[in-house]
Amino acid sequence: MAKKPKTDREVAAFRERVRDAATRLFLERGPDNVTMRQIAGEMGVSPMTPYRYFRDKDEILALVRAAAFNQFAENLEQAVRAADDARAKARAAGVAYLDFAHRFPDTYQLLFEHTQADEARYPELVKAHARANETMAGYVQEMIDAGLVRGDAKLIGYMFWATLHGTVVLEQTGALGRDVDVEFLRQTTMRTLFAGMGVLPPYWDEGDRD
């Protein structure tokens, strides 16, 4: 008797199992040092089983990175939602960004050090990456709407993202001296950016380090 075809729910559930197993291995060893056979071994299934659900390891990596981008975006979105006004939202987003990089350094590297040239092939990754972009631009748009800053929300969001990412990379690679306070560096850099854009009143209240 032929096997009953798996339902869409069953297929999705197994793909999630593959993703979870691959995530553990990717974070532990790095994607370049993990094979499909090792992923199957981590799951306790035959070496060929993952190929029934994924074309290759790149497709699995795309799904893993999509989940990581969603985790990244959700962390920022929660912080922004909890803030009271546009100024506080921008502040909260910056703090949440560094917090994510500190709590999940391997995940952060997986997002930005293992980019895939053919990302457009993977709809889930495209959607998750777009969510992260929209999250970074969303709080900027609220600042624009509140009259705190002028310009294109997407472009300014990328400016902030580049600044925060640069700070994280310098810290993770050990390029910052031990005497450098990373949070204070973020605050000072953001003050300078906002001052250059003519943000009035000051982005940070006088006497408030953040």
pLDDT tens profile 84-105: 898 899 889 999 999 999 999 9
What does the mean pLDDT of the chain come to?
89
Average pLDDT over residues 127-149: 92
Range of the domain at 14: 7-54
Residue 205 has pLDDT above 60, yes or no: no
Residue 210 has pLDDT above 50, yes or no: no
Q: Are residues 34 and 74 in the same domain?
A: no
Residues 6+ apart with CB under 8 A from 61: 22, 26, 31, 114, 116
Query: In Å, how far are 79, 105, 120, 169 from 116, measured between CA atoms?
Result: 29, 19, 9, 19
Residue 1, domain member (yes or no): no
Please tell me the total count of domains within the chain.
2
Contact between residue 97 and residue 88 where contact means Cβ atoms under 8 Å apart:
no
93 exposed, middle or buried (CB, 10 Å; 0-12, 13-18, 19+)? buried
Buried b (16+ CB within 10 A) or exposed e, 143-159: bbeeebbeeebeebbbb
- Give residue-wise pLDDT tens across range 9-54: 989 999 999 999 999 999 999 999 999 999 999 999 999 999 999 9
Q: Are residues 11 and 77 in the same domain?
A: no
Among 12-21, 175-184, 198-207, top mean pLDDT goes to 12-21
Give the pLDDT confidence score for residue 199 in this predicted structure.
Answer: 65
Give the pLDDT confidence score for residue 31 in this predicted structure.
Answer: 95
Q: Are residues 126 and 87 in the same domain?
A: yes
Residue 203 has pLDDT above 70, yes or no: no
Give the pLDDT confidence score for residue 206 in this predicted structure.
Answer: 37
**Domain harbouring 31, CATH code:** 1.10.10.60
Q: Are residues 13 and 31 in the same domain?
A: yes
For every residue of the chain, DSSP letters joined together read -PPPPPPHHHHHHHHHHHHHHHHHHHHHH-GGG--HHHHHHHHTS-TTGGGGT-SSHHHHHHHHHHHHHHHHHHHHHHHHHHSSSHHHHHHHHHHHHHHHHHH-HHHHHHHHTS--TTGGG-HHHHHHHHHHHHHHHHHHHHHHHTTS--S-HHHHHHHHHHHHHHHHHHHHTT-S-TT--HHHHHHHHHHHHHHHTT-SS-SS-TT---
Give the pLDDT confidence score for residue 123 in this predicted structure.
Answer: 95
